Amino acid sequence: GDGMNVLFIIVDDLRPVLGCYGDKLVKSPNIDQLASQSMVFSNAYAQQAVCAPSRVSFLTGRRPDTTRLYDFYSYWRVHAGNYSTMPQYFKENGYVTLSVGKVFHPGVSSNYSDDYPYSWSIPPFHPSAEKHENDKTCRGKDGKLHANLVCPVNVTEMPEGTLPDIQSTEEAIHLLNVMKSTRQKFFLAVGYHKPHIPLRYPQEFLKLYPLENITLAPDPWVPKKLPSVAYNPWMDIRQRDDVEALNVSFPYGALPDDFQRQIRQSYYAAVSYLDVQIGLLLSALDDAGLSNNTIVVFTADHGWSLGEHGEWAKYSNFDVATRVPLMFYVPGMTTSPVSQGARVFPYLDPFSYIGVSVPQGQSKQMVELVSLFPTLAELAGLQVPPACPEMSFGVVLCTEGRSIVHYFNISEGEVGEGKEGCAD
Amino acid sequence: TDRCFNEEPVAFSQYPRPADTPQWNSDKPKLKDIRIMGYSMRTIDYRYTLWVQFDPNNFRANFEDVHAGELYMMENDPNQDNNVYNNTSHGWFFKKLL
Protein backbone atom coordinates (compact mmCIF):
# COMPACT_ATOMS: atom_id res chain seq x y z
CA GLY A 1 0.00 0.00 0.00
CA ASP A 2 2.99 2.32 -0.07
CA GLY A 3 1.94 5.79 -1.12
CA MET A 4 -1.67 4.87 -1.63
CA ASN A 5 -4.58 7.17 -0.90
CA VAL A 6 -7.00 6.32 1.88
CA LEU A 7 -10.78 6.44 1.74
CA PHE A 8 -12.02 5.93 5.29
CA ILE A 9 -15.77 5.30 5.55
CA ILE A 10 -17.35 5.51 9.00
CA VAL A 11 -20.98 4.68 9.56
CA ASP A 12 -22.99 5.79 12.58
CA ASP A 13 -24.53 2.99 14.69
CA LEU A 14 -24.14 0.23 12.12
CA ARG A 15 -24.04 -3.29 13.49
CA PRO A 16 -23.01 -5.91 10.93
CA VAL A 17 -26.47 -6.46 9.42
CA LEU A 18 -24.90 -6.85 6.01
CA GLY A 19 -25.07 -9.60 3.44
CA CYS A 20 -21.31 -10.09 3.68
CA TYR A 21 -21.72 -10.78 7.41
CA GLY A 22 -24.31 -13.47 6.77
CA ASP A 23 -27.52 -11.49 7.26
CA LYS A 24 -30.14 -13.10 5.02
CA LEU A 25 -32.68 -10.30 5.07
CA VAL A 26 -30.73 -7.14 4.39
CA LYS A 27 -30.08 -5.76 0.90
CA SER A 28 -26.55 -4.36 0.94
CA PRO A 29 -25.10 -5.23 -2.47
CA ASN A 30 -22.62 -2.37 -2.64
CA ILE A 31 -21.07 -2.95 0.76
CA ASP A 32 -21.03 -6.68 -0.03
CA GLN A 33 -19.24 -5.91 -3.28
CA LEU A 34 -16.64 -3.94 -1.33
CA ALA A 35 -16.30 -6.95 0.98
CA SER A 36 -15.75 -9.19 -2.02
CA GLN A 37 -12.58 -7.20 -2.74
CA SER A 38 -11.56 -6.78 0.89
CA MET A 39 -10.22 -8.40 4.00
CA VAL A 40 -13.23 -8.68 6.29
CA PHE A 41 -12.99 -8.98 10.07
CA SER A 42 -15.98 -10.77 11.54
CA ASN A 43 -15.10 -10.13 15.19
CA ALA A 44 -14.29 -6.43 15.39
CA TYR A 45 -15.29 -4.39 18.43
CA ALA A 46 -15.54 -0.74 19.43
CA GLN A 47 -14.08 0.39 22.75
CA GLN A 48 -17.21 2.16 24.00
CA ALA A 49 -20.70 1.97 22.54
CA VAL A 50 -21.41 5.66 22.21
CA CYS A 51 -20.38 8.05 19.46
CA ALA A 52 -17.91 10.61 20.81
CA PRO A 53 -15.81 8.32 23.05
CA SER A 54 -15.64 5.62 20.38
CA ARG A 55 -14.64 8.00 17.61
CA VAL A 56 -12.03 9.82 19.69
CA SER A 57 -10.69 6.41 20.72
CA PHE A 58 -10.17 4.98 17.25
CA LEU A 59 -9.11 8.31 15.74
CA THR A 60 -6.39 8.74 18.40
CA GLY A 61 -5.61 5.02 18.71
CA ARG A 62 -6.13 5.15 22.48
CA ARG A 63 -8.71 3.69 24.82
CA PRO A 64 -11.31 5.79 26.64
CA ASP A 65 -9.36 5.50 29.90
CA THR A 66 -6.52 7.32 28.12
CA THR A 67 -8.58 9.88 26.21
CA ARG A 68 -10.59 10.30 29.42
CA LEU A 69 -13.62 10.89 27.27
CA TYR A 70 -16.60 8.83 28.41
CA ASP A 71 -19.29 11.39 27.60
CA PHE A 72 -19.49 14.30 25.13
CA TYR A 73 -18.13 17.16 27.16
CA SER A 74 -14.35 17.36 27.02
CA TYR A 75 -11.64 17.74 24.38
CA TRP A 76 -8.84 15.23 24.84
CA ARG A 77 -6.04 17.65 23.94
CA VAL A 78 -6.79 19.82 26.98
CA HIS A 79 -8.44 17.24 29.25
CA ALA A 80 -6.12 14.23 28.86
CA GLY A 81 -3.11 14.76 26.58
CA ASN A 82 -2.22 16.39 23.29
CA TYR A 83 -2.50 13.11 21.41
CA SER A 84 -1.91 12.89 17.70
CA THR A 85 -4.80 11.61 15.62
CA MET A 86 -4.72 9.19 12.72
CA PRO A 87 -5.59 11.87 10.12
CA GLN A 88 -3.07 14.22 11.74
CA TYR A 89 -0.41 11.55 11.34
CA PHE A 90 -1.25 11.18 7.66
CA LYS A 91 -1.28 14.95 7.25
CA GLU A 92 2.16 15.20 8.84
CA ASN A 93 3.34 12.54 6.42
CA GLY A 94 2.44 14.46 3.30
CA TYR A 95 -1.20 13.58 2.81
CA VAL A 96 -4.00 16.02 2.14
CA THR A 97 -6.53 15.09 4.83
CA LEU A 98 -10.21 15.74 4.28
CA SER A 99 -13.29 15.21 6.44
CA VAL A 100 -16.85 14.92 5.15
CA GLY A 101 -19.89 14.47 7.40
CA LYS A 102 -19.68 12.93 10.85
CA VAL A 103 -16.11 11.75 11.37
CA PHE A 104 -15.39 13.25 14.76
CA HIS A 105 -18.47 13.67 16.90
CA PRO A 106 -19.28 17.39 16.60
CA GLY A 107 -19.18 19.74 19.59
CA VAL A 108 -16.96 20.05 22.65
CA SER A 109 -15.37 16.62 22.21
CA SER A 110 -13.68 17.73 19.00
CA ASN A 111 -13.22 21.38 20.03
CA TYR A 112 -16.22 22.54 17.92
CA SER A 113 -13.98 22.16 14.89
CA ASP A 114 -13.71 18.40 14.25
CA ASP A 115 -10.13 18.85 15.49
CA TYR A 116 -9.30 21.20 12.61
CA PRO A 117 -6.60 22.25 11.83
CA TYR A 118 -4.68 19.50 13.67
CA SER A 119 -6.35 16.67 11.83
CA TRP A 120 -7.48 18.18 8.53
CA SER A 121 -5.93 20.13 5.70
CA ILE A 122 -9.10 22.13 5.05
CA PRO A 123 -12.14 22.82 7.25
CA PRO A 124 -14.33 19.71 7.53
CA PHE A 125 -17.50 19.62 5.47
CA HIS A 126 -20.86 19.20 7.14
CA PRO A 127 -24.03 18.79 5.10
CA SER A 128 -26.33 21.78 5.45
CA ALA A 129 -29.36 19.50 5.89
CA GLU A 130 -27.80 18.11 9.07
CA LYS A 131 -29.39 20.89 11.12
CA HIS A 132 -32.85 19.55 10.26
CA GLU A 133 -32.08 16.06 11.52
CA ASN A 134 -34.24 16.34 14.61
CA ASP A 135 -36.89 18.62 13.15
CA LYS A 136 -40.46 17.41 12.91
CA THR A 137 -40.19 15.99 9.41
CA CYS A 138 -41.92 12.62 9.79
CA ARG A 139 -45.49 12.40 8.49
CA GLY A 140 -47.69 10.72 11.10
CA LYS A 141 -50.96 8.87 10.65
CA ASP A 142 -52.69 12.10 11.64
CA GLY A 143 -51.16 13.80 8.62
CA LYS A 144 -49.07 16.09 10.83
CA LEU A 145 -45.29 16.25 11.10
CA HIS A 146 -43.58 14.69 14.11
CA ALA A 147 -40.09 13.99 15.45
CA ASN A 148 -40.52 10.23 15.22
CA LEU A 149 -38.13 7.34 15.57
CA VAL A 150 -39.57 5.54 12.55
CA CYS A 151 -39.36 8.09 9.78
CA PRO A 152 -39.57 7.10 6.11
CA VAL A 153 -39.77 10.34 4.11
CA ASN A 154 -40.40 11.77 0.68
CA VAL A 155 -37.04 13.41 0.10
CA THR A 156 -38.47 16.11 -2.15
CA GLU A 157 -40.58 17.29 0.81
CA MET A 158 -37.61 17.56 3.16
CA PRO A 159 -36.00 20.88 4.08
CA GLU A 160 -33.63 21.77 1.23
CA GLY A 161 -35.09 18.83 -0.72
CA THR A 162 -32.36 16.45 0.36
CA LEU A 163 -30.92 14.44 3.27
CA PRO A 164 -27.53 14.86 4.99
CA ASP A 165 -25.99 11.62 3.74
CA ILE A 166 -26.93 12.41 0.16
CA GLN A 167 -25.13 15.74 0.51
CA SER A 168 -22.10 14.05 2.09
CA THR A 169 -21.84 11.63 -0.82
CA GLU A 170 -22.03 14.50 -3.29
CA GLU A 171 -19.27 16.41 -1.48
CA ALA A 172 -17.06 13.34 -1.15
CA ILE A 173 -17.40 12.64 -4.88
CA HIS A 174 -16.56 16.27 -5.59
CA LEU A 175 -13.42 15.99 -3.44
CA LEU A 176 -12.38 12.75 -5.15
CA ASN A 177 -12.51 14.52 -8.48
CA VAL A 178 -10.54 17.48 -7.13
CA MET A 179 -7.89 15.17 -5.69
CA LYS A 180 -7.70 13.25 -8.94
CA SER A 181 -6.71 16.42 -10.76
CA THR A 182 -4.24 17.65 -8.11
CA ARG A 183 -2.49 14.25 -7.99
CA GLN A 184 -1.70 14.65 -4.30
CA LYS A 185 -1.97 11.74 -1.89
CA PHE A 186 -5.14 12.06 0.15
CA PHE A 187 -6.79 10.70 3.26
CA LEU A 188 -10.52 11.24 2.78
CA ALA A 189 -12.74 10.38 5.76
CA VAL A 190 -16.44 10.17 5.03
CA GLY A 191 -18.79 9.83 7.98
CA TYR A 192 -22.37 8.80 7.28
CA HIS A 193 -25.18 9.68 9.71
CA LYS A 194 -27.50 6.72 9.16
CA PRO A 195 -28.67 4.31 10.53
CA HIS A 196 -28.41 6.53 13.64
CA ILE A 197 -31.79 7.64 14.96
CA PRO A 198 -34.10 9.09 13.81
CA LEU A 199 -34.51 6.32 11.25
CA ARG A 200 -35.12 8.90 8.54
CA TYR A 201 -34.57 7.63 5.02
CA PRO A 202 -36.23 7.80 1.57
CA GLN A 203 -39.55 6.00 1.90
CA GLU A 204 -39.02 3.80 -1.17
CA PHE A 205 -36.54 1.70 0.82
CA LEU A 206 -39.43 0.36 2.89
CA LYS A 207 -40.46 -1.68 -0.17
CA LEU A 208 -37.36 -3.82 0.29
CA TYR A 209 -38.62 -5.03 3.65
CA PRO A 210 -42.30 -6.03 3.76
CA LEU A 211 -43.38 -5.98 7.41
CA GLU A 212 -44.51 -9.61 7.21
CA ASN A 213 -40.86 -10.59 6.61
CA ILE A 214 -39.63 -8.81 9.73
CA THR A 215 -39.11 -10.90 12.82
CA LEU A 216 -38.58 -9.89 16.42
CA ALA A 217 -35.16 -10.25 18.00
CA PRO A 218 -34.47 -13.86 18.94
CA ASP A 219 -34.33 -12.83 22.61
CA PRO A 220 -36.53 -9.74 23.07
CA TRP A 221 -36.70 -10.05 26.86
CA VAL A 222 -34.45 -8.74 29.62
CA PRO A 223 -32.33 -11.72 30.72
CA LYS A 224 -33.21 -12.87 34.24
CA LYS A 225 -29.64 -12.79 35.47
CA LEU A 226 -28.66 -9.50 33.85
CA PRO A 227 -27.33 -7.15 36.56
CA SER A 228 -29.41 -3.98 36.67
CA VAL A 229 -26.26 -1.88 36.19
CA ALA A 230 -25.68 -3.53 32.81
CA TYR A 231 -29.10 -2.60 31.42
CA ASN A 232 -29.45 0.30 29.01
CA PRO A 233 -32.89 1.96 29.36
CA TRP A 234 -32.73 3.44 25.81
CA MET A 235 -33.79 6.95 26.80
CA ASP A 236 -33.13 8.47 23.38
CA ILE A 237 -35.60 6.06 21.82
CA ARG A 238 -38.25 6.81 24.45
CA GLN A 239 -37.99 10.52 23.73
CA ARG A 240 -39.07 10.26 20.10
CA ASP A 241 -42.70 11.32 19.53
CA ASP A 242 -43.94 7.96 18.26
CA VAL A 243 -42.34 6.00 21.10
CA GLU A 244 -43.43 8.46 23.78
CA ALA A 245 -47.01 8.02 22.62
CA LEU A 246 -46.79 4.32 23.46
CA ASN A 247 -46.45 5.10 27.20
CA VAL A 248 -44.00 2.28 27.81
CA SER A 249 -43.08 1.92 31.46
CA PHE A 250 -39.56 2.84 32.60
CA PRO A 251 -37.10 1.18 32.70
CA TYR A 252 -38.01 -2.40 31.78
CA GLY A 253 -41.32 -2.08 29.90
CA ALA A 254 -41.25 -3.68 26.45
CA LEU A 255 -42.29 -2.00 23.24
CA PRO A 256 -45.33 -3.57 21.53
CA ASP A 257 -44.34 -6.34 19.13
CA ASP A 258 -45.67 -4.58 16.05
CA PHE A 259 -43.66 -1.45 16.87
CA GLN A 260 -40.54 -3.54 17.47
CA ARG A 261 -41.00 -4.90 13.95
CA GLN A 262 -41.37 -1.38 12.58
CA ILE A 263 -38.12 -0.27 14.21
CA ARG A 264 -36.30 -3.29 12.83
CA GLN A 265 -37.85 -2.72 9.39
CA SER A 266 -36.72 0.90 9.38
CA TYR A 267 -33.22 0.05 10.60
CA TYR A 268 -32.86 -2.35 7.68
CA ALA A 269 -34.29 0.22 5.26
CA ALA A 270 -31.84 2.82 6.56
CA VAL A 271 -28.98 0.35 6.01
CA SER A 272 -30.02 -0.12 2.38
CA TYR A 273 -30.25 3.66 1.94
CA LEU A 274 -26.73 3.85 3.33
CA ASP A 275 -25.64 1.06 0.98
CA VAL A 276 -26.77 3.15 -1.98
CA GLN A 277 -24.66 6.07 -0.76
CA ILE A 278 -21.64 3.79 -0.37
CA GLY A 279 -22.28 2.39 -3.86
CA LEU A 280 -22.37 5.85 -5.40
CA LEU A 281 -19.20 6.85 -3.56
CA LEU A 282 -17.24 3.76 -4.58
CA SER A 283 -18.49 3.98 -8.14
CA ALA A 284 -17.15 7.54 -8.21
CA LEU A 285 -13.81 6.21 -6.98
CA ASP A 286 -13.82 4.03 -10.09
CA ASP A 287 -14.88 6.91 -12.31
CA ALA A 288 -12.01 9.02 -11.00
CA GLY A 289 -9.56 6.23 -11.84
CA LEU A 290 -8.53 5.97 -8.20
CA SER A 291 -9.56 2.40 -7.36
CA ASN A 292 -6.12 1.09 -8.25
CA ASN A 293 -4.27 3.26 -5.73
CA THR A 294 -6.72 3.90 -2.91
CA ILE A 295 -7.11 1.85 0.26
CA VAL A 296 -10.76 1.71 1.33
CA VAL A 297 -11.61 1.10 4.97
CA PHE A 298 -15.19 0.56 6.04
CA THR A 299 -16.37 0.46 9.64
CA ALA A 300 -18.82 1.90 12.18
CA ASP A 301 -18.43 3.69 15.49
CA HIS A 302 -20.31 0.87 17.32
CA GLY A 303 -23.31 -1.38 16.94
CA TRP A 304 -26.97 -1.07 17.90
CA SER A 305 -29.38 -3.29 19.81
CA LEU A 306 -32.43 -4.22 17.76
CA GLY A 307 -34.54 -5.46 20.66
CA GLU A 308 -32.13 -8.09 21.95
CA HIS A 309 -32.23 -8.37 25.77
CA GLY A 310 -35.19 -5.97 25.82
CA GLU A 311 -32.84 -3.19 24.72
CA TRP A 312 -32.63 -0.70 21.88
CA ALA A 313 -29.84 1.64 20.86
CA LYS A 314 -26.26 1.25 22.06
CA TYR A 315 -25.04 2.29 25.55
CA SER A 316 -24.00 -1.16 26.77
CA ASN A 317 -21.28 -3.79 26.65
CA PHE A 318 -23.38 -6.37 24.84
CA ASP A 319 -21.87 -7.61 21.60
CA VAL A 320 -24.80 -6.25 19.59
CA ALA A 321 -23.84 -2.77 20.84
CA THR A 322 -20.07 -3.06 20.49
CA ARG A 323 -19.51 -5.30 17.45
CA VAL A 324 -18.90 -3.48 14.19
CA PRO A 325 -18.26 -4.30 10.54
CA LEU A 326 -14.63 -3.85 9.57
CA MET A 327 -13.12 -4.38 6.15
CA PHE A 328 -10.04 -3.23 4.25
CA TYR A 329 -9.75 -3.02 0.48
CA VAL A 330 -6.07 -2.78 -0.45
CA PRO A 331 -5.47 -2.94 -4.20
CA GLY A 332 -2.85 -5.51 -5.04
CA MET A 333 -3.07 -7.01 -1.57
CA THR A 334 -6.69 -8.00 -0.99
CA THR A 335 -7.18 -8.19 -4.75
CA SER A 336 -5.01 -8.76 -7.78
CA PRO A 337 -3.34 -5.58 -9.02
CA VAL A 338 -5.97 -3.32 -10.51
CA SER A 339 -5.22 -1.56 -13.77
CA GLN A 340 -6.02 2.12 -13.92
CA GLY A 341 -9.51 2.73 -15.22
CA ALA A 342 -10.71 -0.78 -14.41
CA ARG A 343 -14.12 -0.92 -12.74
CA VAL A 344 -13.84 -2.49 -9.33
CA PHE A 345 -16.98 -1.06 -7.76
CA PRO A 346 -19.77 -0.70 -10.34
CA TYR A 347 -22.89 0.68 -8.68
CA LEU A 348 -25.40 -2.03 -7.74
CA ASP A 349 -29.06 -1.14 -7.31
CA PRO A 350 -30.45 -2.87 -4.20
CA PHE A 351 -33.94 -2.77 -5.76
CA SER A 352 -32.92 -4.93 -8.69
CA TYR A 353 -29.65 -6.64 -7.83
CA ILE A 354 -29.87 -10.33 -7.09
CA GLY A 355 -26.69 -12.04 -6.12
CA VAL A 356 -24.36 -12.88 -3.32
CA SER A 357 -20.89 -11.54 -2.83
CA VAL A 358 -18.38 -13.48 -0.82
CA PRO A 359 -15.67 -11.69 1.15
CA GLN A 360 -12.27 -11.85 -0.47
CA GLY A 361 -10.69 -12.82 2.80
CA GLN A 362 -12.20 -13.28 6.21
CA SER A 363 -10.69 -13.35 9.66
CA LYS A 364 -12.44 -14.44 12.83
CA GLN A 365 -9.71 -12.97 15.00
CA MET A 366 -10.86 -10.66 17.79
CA VAL A 367 -9.80 -7.18 16.76
CA GLU A 368 -10.49 -3.72 18.11
CA LEU A 369 -11.15 -0.35 16.52
CA VAL A 370 -8.30 1.09 18.58
CA SER A 371 -6.08 -0.86 16.16
CA LEU A 372 -7.25 1.09 13.11
CA PHE A 373 -4.56 3.75 13.44
CA PRO A 374 -1.50 1.43 13.38
CA THR A 375 -3.16 -0.82 10.79
CA LEU A 376 -3.84 1.99 8.34
CA ALA A 377 -0.39 3.45 8.90
CA GLU A 378 1.20 0.10 8.04
CA LEU A 379 -1.04 -0.45 5.01
CA ALA A 380 -0.12 2.99 3.67
CA GLY A 381 3.58 2.32 4.15
CA LEU A 382 4.01 4.82 6.97
CA GLN A 383 5.96 4.02 10.09
CA VAL A 384 3.66 2.27 12.55
CA PRO A 385 3.19 4.44 15.66
CA PRO A 386 4.95 2.89 18.67
CA ALA A 387 3.01 1.05 21.34
CA CYS A 388 2.03 3.32 24.22
CA PRO A 389 3.72 2.88 27.57
CA GLU A 390 1.43 2.04 30.47
CA MET A 391 1.06 5.75 31.26
CA SER A 392 0.98 7.73 28.03
CA PHE A 393 -0.66 11.05 28.94
CA GLY A 394 2.49 12.92 27.98
CA VAL A 395 3.22 10.92 24.84
CA VAL A 396 2.06 12.68 21.69
CA LEU A 397 2.38 9.78 19.26
CA CYS A 398 1.72 6.20 20.29
CA THR A 399 -1.07 3.66 20.03
CA GLU A 400 -2.82 1.30 22.39
CA GLY A 401 -3.89 -0.84 19.45
CA ARG A 402 -1.83 -3.17 17.32
CA SER A 403 -1.57 -3.38 13.57
CA ILE A 404 -3.74 -6.27 12.37
CA VAL A 405 -2.12 -6.46 8.95
CA HIS A 406 -0.52 -9.81 9.85
CA TYR A 407 -4.03 -11.30 9.95
CA PHE A 408 -4.50 -10.50 6.26
CA ASN A 409 -2.55 -13.62 5.38
CA ILE A 410 -4.70 -15.97 7.44
CA SER A 411 -7.06 -17.89 5.21
CA GLU A 412 -10.83 -17.79 5.47
CA GLY A 413 -12.29 -18.96 8.74
CA GLU A 414 -8.93 -19.74 10.24
CA VAL A 415 -8.15 -18.39 13.67
CA GLY A 416 -4.45 -17.97 14.20
CA GLU A 417 -2.70 -19.78 16.96
CA GLY A 418 -1.59 -17.88 20.07
CA LYS A 419 1.31 -15.50 20.70
CA GLU A 420 -0.25 -12.82 18.52
CA GLY A 421 1.60 -9.57 18.88
CA CYS A 422 4.94 -11.24 19.56
CA ALA A 423 6.01 -11.53 15.95
CA ASP A 424 7.95 -8.30 15.98
CA THR B 1 1.29 -4.87 29.94
CA ASP B 2 3.09 -8.01 28.77
CA ARG B 3 1.73 -8.50 25.30
CA CYS B 4 3.67 -11.70 24.71
CA PHE B 5 1.45 -14.05 26.63
CA ASN B 6 0.35 -17.29 25.16
CA GLU B 7 -3.33 -16.43 24.91
CA GLU B 8 -5.68 -15.71 22.10
CA PRO B 9 -6.41 -12.08 21.19
CA VAL B 10 -8.89 -10.21 23.35
CA ALA B 11 -11.12 -7.23 22.59
CA PHE B 12 -11.91 -4.78 25.38
CA SER B 13 -14.75 -2.36 25.81
CA GLN B 14 -16.10 -0.30 28.64
CA TYR B 15 -19.27 1.56 29.60
CA PRO B 16 -19.95 4.06 32.39
CA ARG B 17 -23.02 4.19 34.64
CA PRO B 18 -24.21 6.71 37.23
CA ALA B 19 -25.84 4.11 39.50
CA ASP B 20 -26.51 0.43 40.03
CA THR B 21 -30.07 0.66 38.80
CA PRO B 22 -31.37 2.22 35.59
CA GLN B 23 -32.20 5.90 35.79
CA TRP B 24 -32.79 8.71 33.31
CA ASN B 25 -29.07 9.31 32.69
CA SER B 26 -27.88 5.69 32.71
CA ASP B 27 -27.28 5.72 28.96
CA LYS B 28 -25.25 8.90 28.78
CA PRO B 29 -23.96 9.91 32.20
CA LYS B 30 -21.85 13.05 32.37
CA LEU B 31 -18.33 12.50 33.66
CA LYS B 32 -19.11 14.03 37.07
CA ASP B 33 -21.99 11.58 37.53
CA ILE B 34 -20.10 8.40 36.65
CA ARG B 35 -19.85 6.07 39.66
CA ILE B 36 -19.46 2.67 38.03
CA MET B 37 -17.52 1.47 34.99
CA GLY B 38 -18.23 -1.79 33.25
CA TYR B 39 -15.06 -3.28 31.78
CA SER B 40 -15.48 -6.12 29.29
CA MET B 41 -12.98 -8.50 27.81
CA ARG B 42 -14.12 -10.83 25.10
CA THR B 43 -12.61 -13.66 23.16
CA ILE B 44 -14.12 -16.04 20.64
CA ASP B 45 -15.26 -18.15 23.61
CA TYR B 46 -16.65 -15.74 26.18
CA ARG B 47 -17.46 -12.21 27.31
CA TYR B 48 -16.44 -11.35 30.85
CA THR B 49 -17.55 -8.02 32.32
CA LEU B 50 -16.91 -6.48 35.70
CA TRP B 51 -18.88 -3.44 36.85
CA VAL B 52 -16.59 -1.72 39.35
CA GLN B 53 -16.51 1.48 41.37
CA PHE B 54 -15.18 4.46 39.40
CA ASP B 55 -14.08 7.84 40.71
CA PRO B 56 -14.56 10.61 38.09
CA ASN B 57 -12.27 12.96 40.02
CA ASN B 58 -9.17 10.86 39.56
CA PHE B 59 -10.41 8.50 36.82
CA ARG B 60 -9.63 5.47 38.97
CA ALA B 61 -11.45 2.20 38.68
CA ASN B 62 -11.42 0.15 41.86
CA PHE B 63 -11.45 -3.55 41.02
CA GLU B 64 -11.67 -4.35 44.72
CA ASP B 65 -15.19 -2.91 44.69
CA VAL B 66 -17.13 -5.04 42.23
CA HIS B 67 -20.79 -4.05 41.87
CA ALA B 68 -21.76 -6.79 39.44
CA GLY B 69 -20.36 -9.23 36.95
CA GLU B 70 -21.32 -10.90 33.71
CA LEU B 71 -19.96 -14.00 32.08
CA TYR B 72 -21.39 -15.41 28.88
CA MET B 73 -20.04 -18.56 27.26
CA MET B 74 -20.44 -18.15 23.52
CA GLU B 75 -20.52 -21.81 22.52
CA ASN B 76 -23.88 -22.53 24.12
CA ASP B 77 -25.10 -18.94 24.60
CA PRO B 78 -24.18 -16.95 21.48
CA ASN B 79 -26.81 -14.26 22.15
CA GLN B 80 -25.51 -13.62 25.68
CA ASP B 81 -28.79 -14.33 27.48
CA ASN B 82 -27.54 -16.55 30.28
CA ASN B 83 -25.21 -14.77 32.69
CA VAL B 84 -23.23 -17.47 34.48
CA TYR B 85 -21.02 -15.09 36.50
CA ASN B 86 -22.38 -16.42 39.78
CA ASN B 87 -22.30 -20.08 38.78
CA THR B 88 -19.87 -21.86 41.04
CA SER B 89 -19.22 -24.31 38.22
CA HIS B 90 -17.20 -21.60 36.52
CA GLY B 91 -14.68 -21.29 39.33
CA TRP B 92 -12.12 -22.89 37.03
CA PHE B 93 -12.60 -20.01 34.62
CA PHE B 94 -11.88 -17.31 37.19
CA LYS B 95 -8.89 -19.24 38.46
CA LYS B 96 -7.54 -19.31 34.93
CA LEU B 97 -8.12 -15.59 34.49
CA LEU B 98 -6.41 -14.67 37.73
Residue in A72, A226, A317 nearest the CB of B40: A317
**Contact residues on chain A for B26, CB-CB shorter than 8 A:** 231-233, 235, 251, 315
For residue A202, is pLDDT > 70?
A: yes
User: CB of B40 within 8 Å of any CB in chain A?
Assistant: yes
So what's the pLDDT on residue A179?
96
Give contacts of A218 with chain B, Cβ < 8 Å. Answer: 79
Confidence check: pLDDT of B1 > 60: no
Measure the CA–CA gap between A145 and A147, rounded to whole angstroms.
7
Q: Do residue A227 and residue B30 have CB atoms under 8 angstroms apart?
A: no
* Interface pTM, i.e. ipTM: 0.94
pLDDT tens digits for A101-111?
999 999 999 99
Would the pLDDT of A35 be above 80? yes
For residue B98, the model assigns a pLDDT of 64
Please provide the average confidence, as pLDDT, over all residues in chain A: 94
Indicate the pLDDT class of residue A412, thresholds 50, 70 and 90: very low
* Among the ranges given (A88-92, A409-413, B5-9), the one the predictor scored with the smallest mean pLDDT: A409-413
pLDDT in tens, B8-30: 789 999 999 999 999 999 999 99
Q: Please state, in angstroms and rounded to a whole number, the distance separating the CA atoms of residues A328 and A38.
A: 5
**Nearest CA distance, B50 vs chain A (angstrom):** 10
Q: Any idea which residues of A carry the catalytic annotation?
A: 51, 105
Encode pLDDT of A115-162 as tens digits: 999 999 999 999 999 999 999 999 998 999 999 999 999 999 999 999
Burial A262-278 (b: 16+ CB within 10 A, else e): bbbbbbbbbbbbbbbbb
Q: What percent of chain B has pLDDT over 70?
A: 90
Instruction: Give the pLDDT score at B87.
Output: 85
pLDDT of A355: 79
Q: State residue A223's pLDDT score.
A: 97
Q: How far apart are CA A47 and CA A299, in angstroms?
A: 13
Q: How confident is the model at residue A50 (pLDDT cuts 50, 70, 90)?
A: very high
Hey, of A68, A319, A403, which one would you mutate to test binding to chain B, going by the most B CBs within 10 A of its CB?
Answer: A319
Of the candidates A383, A215, A381, A181, the residue with the CA atom closest to the CA atom of residue A290: A181
Letter for the amino acid at A129? A
Q: Is A419 on the interface with B (CB under 8 A)?
A: yes
Measured between alpha carbons, how far is B33 from B30 in angstroms, rounded to an integer?
A: 5
Helices (H), B1-98: 91-97
Give yes or no for B90 touching A (CB within 8 A).
no
Name the strand (E) or helix (H) holding A40: strand A39-45
pLDDT at position A336: 84
| Contact in structure between A10 and A191 (CB atoms under 8 Å) | yes
Beta bridge partners of B51: B38, B68
pLDDT bracket for residue A337 (50, 70, 90): confident
Strands (E), A66-109: 96-101
Strands A96-101 and A323-329: unpaired
Range of weakest confidence among A35-39, A327-331, A339-343, A364-368: A339-343
Residue A409 has pLDDT above 80, yes or no: no
Mutate to test the interface with B, among A317, A371, A399 (most CBs of B within 10 A): A317
Cα maximum dimension of chain B = 43
CB contact under 8 A, A317 and B15: yes
Residue of A nearest to B28 (CA): A71
Interface of A with B in 96-115 (CB under 8 A): none
How far is residue A415's CA from residue A418's CA, in Å, rounded to a whole number? 9
Mutate to test the interface with A, among B13, B34, B50, B67 (most CBs of A within 10 A): B13
Greater confidence (B3 vs A293) lies with A293
Q: Is some CB atom of chain B closer than 8 A to the CB atom of A68?
A: yes
| Cross-chain Cβ contact B80/A316 below 8 Å | no
Q: Over 90: is that where the pLDDT of A358 sits?
A: no
Does the structure show a pLDDT above 50 at B2? Answer: no
B38 and A317 in contact by Cβ < 8 A?
yes
